[in-house]
A and B are shown apart, each in its own frame.
Chain A
Amino acid sequence: MKRILVALSTVALLSMASAQPFVWPSAWTSADASEVVMGGTFRDYAISDPRTFNPFVSAEQNQVVDLADATTLITQGPDSDEFIPYMAESFEVSEDGLTVTINVRQGMKWSDGEDITADDFYLTYLAETDPEVGSNGYDSWFIAGAPIVGELVDDYTLRFVFPTTDRTALPVLAISPAPDHILGEIYRSGGAEALKAAWGTDADISETVWATAFVPVEYLEGQRVVFERNPYFGEWNVDEQGTALPYMDRYVVQTVESTDAALNLYLAGELDAYSPANLDEVGVVNQAINNGDIDATLLPNVAPVASSQFIVFNWNKASDPFLQSTFRNVKFRQAMSHLVDREAIVELVYGGSASPMWSNVYQVNEFWVNDDVPKFPFDPERAAALLAEIGFGETNANGILVDGDGNELSFTLATNAGNSQREQLVQIFADAAREVGVEVNVEAIDFNLLVDQLLSSGDDRPFDAILIGLTGGSRVWPFGVNVIPCGTNLHMWNTSGSCLSAQETLAEELYFKGRQTLDTDEALQIGYDIQSTLATLQAQVYTVSPLSHYSWLSTVGGEHPDGLINDQLGSRQLPLTFKRD
């Protein structure tokens, strides 16, 4: 792993003199240059309709610009966590590390032939930082509440001033341009409301412009978006042989209402790729391949998904001092971890297609995962011993452990109704707990109600324990700003506003120290320490992480090389994908 600092200084030395195309490394594809076929259509799918062409409209995860694989100033390739200049020609970091000057690549064009300049990125900055626009990107422009300030220096130069040195700041520069000559005009004349109202799906698609490899040409609501090759993309994107990208002519994204429908379309040969959601679907795809229904590649059990799954205990339960003090006891939580039979969960709930999880970093993020964190694996005897150490040595007539005052060790564990895997998981835990005399009352409740309980704050919150998961996070600093510092809203075991244990305080200190550490190796060490601290604390008892699966028709080439396919990296770069005849 290269260091970010080294990367920044190397980048700073790069030539800025002339307009050079970006060369897509051959390391990003498993295909040999001689295999590549030009033309063809890649037929993909999305579970929900994109519903807007507007890149700034809030809360819509599945925007057209995302389907088209947004192009950004800087980017991360699948082979390295390092940021490299992409739509930027280069960037320079000031000596104090607070100012980043970006030289925008020259020679890039919008799909209508207009030049892409610094103004287009500056528009993104202005719109995303305007609270009235309500863009999803808004929060990324603040570090610890202080704003990152952008400045338009000239047609091809931008400057960003950061309030503090912060390794999480770099990803914010992975911004996409927005066409200043169209959306900028609308924004300047009509303000935030006009900008938000622009480019809905009722817009004339021919009036929208794009920087991406493929541009949308047809949109059928609820059915599909058809993209065609952007003729200007190849002018600044080439492969190592100098061939203009993308290889294909068309990219079609079918909207499906369920993964079942997508699977049916894949089996019917109407989609070029499909990611089976579970082992049952892997079996169906496998059978279709064996029967000769489809000629395809199947990669089952590739890597853990980019999400976590854990049990969290409520430390703020003033109305029940017994449970509150029990939940705050680290030995209790370690005992609970000893009662999570991860191997059984992997086998019984996921049919073997999952792996045990010990740390708060998603396992797919191998670089950051500390394999040596303290572990409390399934061991009922050890659990019973730990519980005895904190006063639960005897059972009552009901077979439930009691303390010296006769308080029964009994609590409710809730998870979201409708998630059958989580419901099974909590049941396996409850059964194991019952064996040692801990009564766990399993409850499946509505997801939003669960989230409301979890995010409630104060001294007396309305739950005992919850099984839930988190997604999101970056490859630069995989620790959530809302999770580790005390007093943040996803510091979900304790929302009293202050740290209640030494390990919480330590984890918080390490978190801020790590963010200010630009050297990746040093940051990694700090990240390891955070994981060890939190693993000892067991504020969140991690369970298992399901594995992801991939499949694509044999006519499709250009997927990532082995080892670079997973839930975080995806399976291919769209411009490097091609269709065999």
Chain B
Amino acid sequence: MFAYIVRRFINLIPTFIGATLLAFLISQLVPGDFLTQRALEPNVRPETIERLRTQFGLDLPWPVQYVRWMGSLVQGDLGLSFSSNQPVTNLIISPIRNSMVLVVMSLVMLYAIAIPVGVFSAVRQYSAADQIVSAVSYFGLAIPNFFFAQVLILSLFVIRSWTRETFGYNDLLLPVAQMTSSDYLDWPWYRQWWDIFVHALMPAFVVATSGIAGFTRVLRAQMIEYLSSDFIRTARAKGLGQRSVTYKHALRPAIIPFVAGIGGILPVLIGGAGLVEIVVSWPGITPTLLEAISRQDIYVVLGLVVITTILLMVGNLISDLLLAVVDPRIRYD
């Protein structure tokens, strides 16, 4: 097992170089650079643009830029952001942390909702409740997250109108944007945590919905398969109760693929929650990445690519190792 892990780590090096090289190449294929938009300002002289281009090293051939960047990367330096002259590491830590808050919360929601719902619809296959769960699941799979977030925001405004007219209550039930309230820094830590929790509820639910839908469908199919297998019949014949059969004997094997997939969650954790972050103005990775892309602040983009690539590779490794743990048929020695 140890030799396998070492071998895998060595194999990661060319993968990593390939991935970063590709990302760098793509960033070079995009027309223009960080300074192109400044060139359209009527009072900026072309020689200034050229001088800044030299200062930023943007005038060098791209292989030279890549090697330079790789050189500092191996020393743990992700480079400087053009737009703020700050180390990329400083700029991306906070968005990564913020995105993780949202993603962890949505994962908790995902498992807390999807497992019972999946089991429920497998046990009550083809019942009216199963049909409703299926319909809602397909709805969740089909609706784009950013749109669903807008719908929920609109709903919150509609509910406010209703509560105002009915009860004279004129506050929104949940915040519609941002991660914290404007008085956040004046509050004690427990109130700060609560504030973030309340702000994260709606976007985390939106992120969880598409996952819940897919997860429920797969778990339902797995459960149905196991519930009709021989060992379950044996368990029932032994006189085990329905609850024990369902949760101890059927759910455990049915959930194996998800356990093995936990490694894949790592990159998802820092991959951010996508466009939902833009809609609710969550200061996570997606807005940072999109802003860096639109400004062509390439080292910020590449910094995020590097972190994602490393986590993806480590995540895959963990997945493979977990498979060996949960499935005795798999051996790496």
Contact = CB atoms under 8 A, between A and B. Distances in A.
B263 to A, nearest CB: 29
Given A57-B84, A264-B177, A293-B157, A222 B31 contact: no
Contacts of A41: 182
Q: Chain B contact residues (Cβ within 8 angstroms of A): what range? A: 35 or more
Contact of B281 (A140, A196, A257): A257
A134 B177 contact: no
A223 B287 CA distance: 12
B230 interface: no
A260 B154 CA distance: 12
A223 B288 CA distance: 12
A200 B288 contact: no
A19 interface: no
Interface string B70-94: 0000000000011111100011001
A141 to B, nearest CB: 11
A449 B44 CA distance: 19
A7 interface: no
Contacts of B82: 59
B40 A490 contact: yes
A448 B184 CA distance: 40
Given A252-B182, A265-B176, A455 B39 contact: yes
A267 B160 CA distance: 11
B92 to A, nearest CB: 10
Interface in A184-203: 196-197, 200-202
Contacts of A196: 85
B236 interface: no
A448 B178 contact: no
A257 B30 contact: no
Interface stretch (B48-56, B114-122, B130-138, B251-259): B48-56
A143 to B, nearest CB: 11
Contact of B283 (A140, A222, A260): A222
B91 A220 contact: no
A66 interface: no
Interface in A211-268: 218, 220-224, 226, 252, 254-258, 260-262, 264-265, 267-268
B45 A139 contact: yes
Given A58-B52, A59-B83, A482 B45 contact: yes
A486 B178 CA distance: 48
B303 interface: no
A52 interface: yes
A200 B48 contact: no
Contacts of A480: 42-43
Interface string B145-157: 0000010010001
B175 interface: yes
B84 A448 contact: no
B177 A256 contact: yes
A304 to B, nearest CB: 17
A489 interface: yes
Contact of A257 (B34, B287, B296): B287
Contact of B164 (A201, A226, A292): A292
Interface of A: 41, 43, 48-49, 51-52, 54, 57-60, 131-132, 134, 138-140, 142, 196-197, 200-202, 218, 220-224, 226, 252, 254-258, 260-262, 264-265, 267-268, 270, 291-293, 446-449, 451-452, 455, 468, 470-473, 480-483, 489-490
